[in-house]
Amino acid sequence: MSDNVVALGTLSIGSKESLSAALASGGCSSTKSATGCGSKEKPEDMDPATWAKVKDHPCYSEEAHHYFARMHVSVAPACNIQCNYCNRKYDCSNESRPGVVSERLTPVEAARKVIAVANEVPQLSVLGIAGPGDSAYDWLKTKETFRLVTEQIPDIKLCLSSNGLALPDHLDELVEMNVDHVTITINMIDPEVGAQIYPWIFYNRKRIYGVEASRILHERQMEALDGLVARGILVKVNSVLIPGINDAHLLEVNKEVKRRGAFLHNIMPLISAPEHGTHFGLTGQRGPTAAELLAVQEACAGGANLMKHCRQCRADAVGLLGEDRGQDFTLDLVPEAPVYDGAARETYRDWVVAEREDRRAAAEAAQAATEALVAASSPKLLVAVTTQGGGRINQHFGHATEFQVFEVDATGVRFAFHRRCDNYCVDGGGAEDRLERVIATLDGIDTVLVAKIGDCPREGLAEAGITARDTWAHDYIETAVLALYREKMAQKQAQSA
């Protein structure tokens, strides 16, 4: 392939025609920050060392999540605390979706799997260890896995997620191992609140209960955060939003972690159901509604940068954040002794460099065009897009299992949130009941931009007041959203004239 177009295993990004068209047109749109999601996105917005760390990390940069994939291996099952939202038979809900069981691996098996994935998925940039269990407590397995993988794939980014209790014991080793992304789950800074979330911890060979347990956990979490920041490691803080327990308190958590230098704060909804067998699930503790989550995130504006594109992925997830190819790479499906071949990853990275450059230029041009035409006071619009990666509108409506929603106004385009749904097309045809669910998923959205859509779903959406457009198929998201916005605002102006 040439002309900046690559076929990427099962993921094909863009088309030669669409890319050429975008290049020829000088692109269109742009944003002041190509997306949003709290973390600053462009190299010129942050120091080069930080940009170098985040530019390939799909969780630490919203922009990067259009291009790069992560994979998790579940190698560290032991845990030193009990969270009321966890049942360790399942995945660790500190970082991943509860209620699913991931494949437990030895470090040798995990390395085998990572090499197999790296050979097949050129977007792979990050290896994460995210439960079940605690990566810092079950440290030797975490360390051995990272060692075996980096022996073969030295440029892979290493990422771990921990409850923080054991983390202060390994700070210097993390630096030696070149780990520059660590997530700590911090649900409280007040032990009284913590006592409602953690019944006990295991620390210094003792089981400790109640408020005292949460006091120690809090102190160790702050020690870990300070120690990581002091060593130049980027820290993402995850907080599980538990209505009635820590919802108001998370504002204090947000302020405190910002003060201590956390790079990102990811406020995740509690997922709780009786069948998960967790304390919260069995006692009826509910998770927040989408509106409650948004309200807490909005209340945190101005504090630590918020991550909004988290997909609460599985502890054995593989692929771009919106997809999960984990089931294609279970141990029985990967070769016995794969040999790493980095050629496809290298080619892909070269493509991303050129593509990013082009997308940014297109976005800036579109933003300038919008500012020239649209009054600064023009209203905001929410626009959903279907994408399978590459920052482009390149997915058919019927294939979408999630919609990415962008907020646009005269100042630019920002990622707002994503919404999941079952795909409308099944076995080549549309499913009526699914369309109803997709319409419910798109509630509050003005327009959905797609690569293609059939007449039936288009009409169904229109009846529900949602316009579907394939006008900008394969264009960059920002370009398309801004073009739509200019068109809508021009119509509004014409109507009021």
Look at residue 214 and give the partner it binds from ligand SF4, ligand CLF, none, a contact being a CB closer than 5 to 8 Å depending on partner kind: none
Q: Is 126 in the site for ligand CLF (CB under 6 A)?
A: yes
Closest-CB residue for ligand SF4?
86
Look at residue 86 and give the partner it binds from ligand CLF, ligand SF4, none, a contact being a CB closer than 5 to 8 Å depending on partner kind: ligand SF4
Look at residue 143 and give the partner it binds from ligand SF4, ligand CLF, none, a contact being a CB closer than 5 to 8 Å depending on partner kind: none
Instruction: Give min distance, CB of 486 to ligand CLF, in A.
Output: 32
Instruction: Give min distance, CB of 39 to ligand CLF, in A.
Output: 12
Q: Are strands 318-319 and 429-430 parallel, antiparallel or unpaired?
A: unpaired
- Rounded CA-CA distance 459/473 in Å is 19
3-class state of residue 125 by DSSP: strand
Contacts with ligand CLF in 245-274 (CB under 6 A)? 266
Select from 76, 105, 72, 83 the least CA-distant residue to 311.
72
Stretch that binds ligand CLF, among 122-130, 163-171, 208-216, 393-401 (CB under 6 A): 122-130
7 DSSP assignment: E
- Rounded CA-CA distance 449/440 in Å is 17
Question: Packing angle between helix 343-373 and helix 16-25, nearest 10 degrees?
Answer: 40
Look at residue 82 and give the partner it binds from ligand CLF, ligand SF4, none, a contact being a CB closer than 5 to 8 Å depending on partner kind: ligand SF4
Select from 305, 355, 403, 417 the least CA-distant residue to 54.
305
Look at residue 92 and give the partner it binds from ligand SF4, ligand CLF, none, a contact being a CB closer than 5 to 8 Å depending on partner kind: ligand SF4
- Rounded CA-CA distance 403/387 in Å is 8
Q: Is 311 left (phi over 0), alpha (psi -120 to 50) or beta?
A: alpha
Contacts with ligand CLF in 70-89 (CB under 6 A)? 70, 72
Site string for ligand CLF, 289-328 (x = CB under 6 A): ---------------------xxxx-------x-------
- Interacting residues toward ligand SF4 by CB under 6 A: 79, 81-83, 86, 88, 92-94, 131-134, 163
b/e sequence 433-459, b meaning 16+ C-beta within 10 Å: ebbeebbebbeebbbbbbbbbbeebbe
Q: Is 96 in the site for ligand CLF (CB under 6 A)?
A: yes
Rule CB under 6 A: which residues touch ligand CLF? 59, 70, 72, 95-96, 126, 128, 130, 159, 161, 181, 183, 236, 266, 310-313, 321
